[in-house]
Structure formats: structure tokens, C-alpha cells
Amino acid sequence: MPGSDATLAARAVIWDLDGTLADSEDYHWLAWQQVMGDEGIAITHDQFLATFGQRNDTVLTGWLGADASEAHRDRIGEAKEAAFRRLVGTRGCVALPGALDRVQRLGPRGWRQAIASSAPRANIDVMIEALGIAGDFDAIASSDDVTVGKPDPQVFLIAASRLDVPPSRCIVVEDAAAGVEAARRAGMPSVGVRANGEALEANVFARSLAELGDTAFDRLLDGK
């Protein structure tokens, strides 16, 4: 089949964003505190951490209860994301150690790259623009594109399709157990990155992207 050899030779890295490339946790916490406080609901930091990286509809069903209407959840979720974007816009966005260097060196070496995040597309655009890496990605998949969140593999499979790279030739980089599980279900090898807490059950685990050797992704995908 024409083009099949090129497709088989293609390789890609699919990145989670929040907590993997960007240190955005505090902004999400502040935004959730604000909007839930406006609703008269106090949330603890532990509650926030337990839901970090999940879709807003899942988070808000847990915090508001199953009786909350979809319109109510949507309104609060949209307010939270708007608050988050304002924080990024006014305070900037900090990349996690090794993130920018890794992203900017992969493209010239023939790797295709995508973002696959539980965040809305508007958040992703604001964050990667603030980080200065908007031009390094060939595709983006966001919560706007899926009907179910991680650990369902849908967002990763959409990203791979947009990259035109088979799932088995895509490496996922994640900071959350749900994301690592989503990669496994998608048939993609994974790199887990988490500075604190328990190690992730990924194919490769590191406390920082800066710890990974220059050929870590090559070895994971091709054994070289």
C-alpha cells in the first residue's frame, strides 16, 4: 500500500499538559476555590488534588451531587476555566523542569508531537502560547473533542489519528495514573513523570523530564 512504509516509520510523542509540561496546579486550585466559593461551597485542597486532571463534568458531579443539572455544572465549569485563563494571562505559565528542552528538540529529530489533555482547547491554546511552544505541536486533542475522559483512551486515539501515526508508534507522557492507564488501553507505551508521590506504573518512570536521557524515547519505542 502506498505510504504504508512511511506510516510505519513515523513516530510520535503525545503529551499531557497540566502537571506534565506546565506547573499549573496552583492556578487550577485558585480558580476552583473562587468559583465554588461563589456557589457557597468550600472545597479542601485534598478534594482538589483527588480530582486534578479529570474532566469538569466528572469533578462537579462529585462536588455538587448527581442531582445537579447539566446546565448548572456547565456554568460553573465555564466560570472556572475562564478564571484559570485569566490567571495564566496575568501571571504567565511556568514549564516543569526539562519540558521545554524536550519538546523543542524532538521535532527536528523527526518526532511528531501532540497535546492530549482533559482541559478545554481554549486553556491549551493560552498555556502553550504562554510557554512559547505553540509552534512545536502537529495536533491537539482536548476535552472539547471527547465524550469520556481518561482513563478512557479516546483523547489519545484522537491525537494519534490527527498525527496520522499508529497508536503503537506513539509514546504518551503523563503525570497521572488515569493517563497512564488510558495510554495502556490505547496500546501506547508511556512515560510517567511525577515529582512527588508514588511512582506511576508506566513503561518508564522519572521524577522529572530533565532526568530522562537523550535517547529515552528512542529506546522505549524502538529498543535503540
Active-site residue set:
16, 18
Residues of the chain with CATH 1.10.150.240: 25-91
Q: Which of 77, 74, 18, 72 is nearest to 49 (CA)?
A: 18
Task: Write out pLDDT tens, residues 47-69.
Answer: 998 888 788 888 999 999 889 99
pLDDT-derived band of residue 2, with 50, 70 and 90 as boundaries?
very low
Q: What percent of the chain has pLDDT over 90?
A: 86
Nine-digit cell string for 119: 482541559
Q: Of how many residues is the chain composed? A: 224
Q: 4-22+94-222 — its CATH code?
A: 3.40.50.1000
Q: What is the pTM for the complete model shown?
A: 0.88
pLDDT at 197 over 90: no
Q: Which of 168, 170, 169, 179 is nearest to 202 (CA)?
A: 179
Q: Which of 13, 23, 202, 174 is nearest to 103 (CA)?
A: 13
Give me the pLDDT at residue 223, please.
79
**Look-up: residue for cell 497521572?**
176
Can you name the CATH fold of 25-91?
DNA polymerase; domain 1 (1.10.150)
Instruction: Kindly give, in sequence order, each residue whose CB lies less than 8 Å from that of residue 10, ignoring residues fewer than 6 positions away.
Output: 112, 163, 164, 165, 166, 169
pLDDT-derived band of residue 8, with 50, 70 and 90 as boundaries?
low
Q: Which of 197, 116, 203 is nearest to 153 (CA)?
A: 116
Task: Write out pLDDT tens, residues 25-54.
Answer: 999 999 999 999 999 999 999 999 888 878
